[in-house]
Amino acid sequence: MLSIRNENVYMESNIKKIIRTIKSRQYDLACEYLHQEMIENDHSAQVYNLLGVISEYKGDVLLAIKYYRAAYVFDPTYKAADRNLEKLTSFFYRFDEESIEYGDSMEKEHQRFHFVNHNSMNIGHLKLMR
């Protein structure tokens, strides 16, 4: 159990490093990092989403759509890929760096606004933080 948690922490730190690399416009280096992550976990929605982000930055919209679809197939609950795919397949699409979802902020946002409250029978209820 501890090794799985360590792997998740390690992967999360690598993903953050990759996102920083993409934001600094070092796309080739970010692709190398992502390919190394694919060796560890070839079914990671985060990896394919970030490959789509790089393709979108490079202007290859069709390849970005393929990567976002692959991310969605691997994890249909991964909101970043879903939103990126929805944005790219929109009739009114135009590249906007502000609208790209890297996948790092949405999950944190979800965790910040909700918590589980247990009642006297130890049944958890999802509540919105105020």
- The CATH code of the domain that includes 66 is 1.25.40.10
At 103, the pLDDT band (50, 70, 90 cuts) reads confident
Residue 62 lies in a domain: yes
pLDDT of residue 104: 79
Residue 53 lies in a domain: yes
Residue 47 lies in a domain: yes
Of 87 and 109, the one with more pLDDT? 87
Residue 86 lies in a domain: yes
State residue 15 phi and psi, 5-degree precision.
-60, -40
pLDDT tens-place string over residues 105-123: 755 444 445 556 767 777 7
Residue ranges of E strands in 14-100:
none
- For all residues of the chain together, what is the average pLDDT? 83
Token pair, residue 56, equals: 């979108």
Q: What average pLDDT does this structure show over 26-41?
A: 93
Residue 20 lies in a domain: yes
| pTM given for the model | 0.74
Strand partners for 115: 127
Domain that holds residue 8: 2-101
Query: Domain total for the chain?
Result: 1
Distance CA 68, CA 51 (A): 8
Res 80 pLDDT > 60: yes
pLDDT of residue 7: 58
